[in-house]
Amino acid sequence: MDNEVMEQVLIFTTILAPIVAALVQSIKQTVALPNNVFPILSLFVGLGVGLVAFPFTGMDSVSRLWAGALAGLGGTGMYELVAKRKGTSK
């Protein structure tokens, strides 16, 4: 990938990350799943959102999948940074 394509992927990732984070949070509120499942769920939600976002961008499908994957992983990390944690680690 050249610099222009990577720049487009990062810009698209920035747009998708809050959307993916919001979708994962809504899934957390509606479905009872173990907490360790949500990072991989966020990855797959990001991939799905990136793939179905073809009407909004002229990027090819591989670039959209990269942006979706980065947004899914970044959305999880963004949530973990701002979430209040109680207790201690092992």
Burial class (CB in 10 A: 0-12, 13-18, 19+), 31: exposed
Question: 34-82: per-residue pLDDT in tens?
Answer: 878 888 889 999 999 999 988 888 888 899 999 999 999 887 776 666 6
In this predicted structure, the answer to whether residue 19 has a pLDDT above a threshold of 80 is: yes
| pTM of the shown model | 0.79
- The pLDDT of residue 49 is 93
In this predicted structure, the answer to whether residue 90 has a pLDDT above a threshold of 60 is: no
Q: How far is CA 71 from CA 28, 49, 86, in A?
A: 17, 9, 26
Where helices occur in 31-83 by DSSP H, the ranges are 38-52, 61-82
Question: 51-64: per-residue pLDDT in tens?
Answer: 998 888 888 889 99
